[in-house]
């Protein structure tokens, strides 16, 4: 499993920086001294550990409080002041995930990705999001058996992510022999656009392959 918050971290190490230009400061462990310092910060209430899928992010509590204070009006009706920091962050995550490509993984298109530089290189969502995408692509003639096999042991609610270039390259590799049967006519607009992007990549890969 993967912590879906990873897709919302900027290159400078701030969570939700793309939401308001500043974001929430994170603390990363750097060897034993960093670990000891982090434990002390947790005990003193300066850091809020947030674990999802076995992966922990260390949230700077004061930075998080300032973030939600700055955005209180924008988040009114979604987040209330009395919520604990963890609940506020998870509620905001849920809202951001819903806003992008309803029912589909986030980050299919780099230009529409959320989450700063790290978010722009990841495709992220629950297994159920990916299965919706796979089914739609299969209706356009694509073979997604590689990724279906990768996810078959996970529950539909499990968060997973792929590096975008790996994800695209693997689909291109698996579907190059199927080029003649592929289309971009089925599914919602985002699926059709994504299928078209894949077909363009497959055509370029086929054209660049030396003839036997």
Burial (CB count <10 Å: 0-12, 13-18, 19+), residue 181? exposed
200 and 157 in contact (C-beta within 8 Å)? no
Q: Helix-strand-coil percent breakdown of the chain, rounded to 5?
A: 55, 15, 35
**Residue for token digits 């497959």?**
202
Structure tokens at 77: 């009706």
User: What is the rounded distance in angstroms from the CA atom of residue 76 to the CA atom of residue 212?
Assistant: 63
Greater pLDDT, 134 or 154: 134
Alpha helices in 4-154 (DSSP H): 17-20, 31-43, 61-70, 85-99, 116-120, 127-139, 145-151
Q: What percent of the chain has pLDDT over 70?
A: 81
For residue 44, the model assigns a pLDDT of 47
Pick the more confident residue, 88 or 109: 88
Put simply, whether the predicted model's pTM sits higher than 0.75 gets the answer no
Task: Give the pLDDT of residue 123.
Answer: 83
Which range among 96-100, 125-129, 164-168 shows the weakest confidence by mean pLDDT? Answer: 96-100
The structural domains of the chain, with segments of one domain joined by +, span 4-99, 110-208
**Confidence label for 102 from pLDDT (cuts 50, 70 and 90):** low
Closest CA to 63 of 17, 110, 109: 17
Of 48-52, 57-61, 158-162, 165-169, which one has max mean pLDDT? Answer: 165-169
What contacts 150, CB < 8 A, 6 or more positions away? none
Tokens matching residue 180:
């003649």
Out of 16-25, 115-124, 143-152, 184-193, pick the least confident.
115-124
Asked if pLDDT for residue 170 goes beyond 90, the answer is yes
Which of 99, 124, 97, 96 shows the shortest CA–CA distance to 110? Answer: 124
* Averaged pLDDT, 146-167: 86
Share of the chain above pLDDT 90, in %: 29
């Amino acid at each position: 499993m993967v912590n879906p918050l990873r897709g919302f971290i900027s290159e400078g190490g701030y969570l939700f920086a793309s939401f308001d230009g500043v974001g929430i400061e994170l603390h990363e462990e750097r060897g034993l001294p960093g670990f000891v310092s982090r434990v002390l910060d947790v005990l003193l209430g300066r850091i809020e550990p947030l674990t999802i899928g076995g992966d922990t992010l260390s949230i700077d509590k004061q930075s998080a409080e300032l973030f939600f204070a700055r955005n209180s009006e924008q988040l009114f009706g979604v987040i209330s002041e009395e919520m604990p920091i963890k609940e506020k962050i998870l509620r905001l995550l849920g809202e951001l995930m819903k806003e992008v490509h309803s029912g589909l993984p986030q980050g299919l298109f780099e230009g529409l990705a959320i989450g700063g530089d790290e978010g722009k290189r990841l495709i992220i969502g629950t297994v159920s999001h990916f299965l919706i995408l796979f089914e739609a692509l299969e209706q356009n003639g694509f073979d997604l058996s590689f990724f279906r096999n990768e996810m078959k042991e996970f529950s539909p609610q499990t968060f997973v992510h792929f590096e975008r270039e790996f994800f695209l390259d693997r689909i291109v590799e698996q579907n190059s022999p199927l080029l003649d049967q592929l289309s971009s006519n089925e599914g919602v607009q985002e699926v059709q656009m994504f299928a078209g992007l894949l077909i363009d990549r497959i055509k370029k890969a086929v054209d660049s392959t030396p003839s036997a």
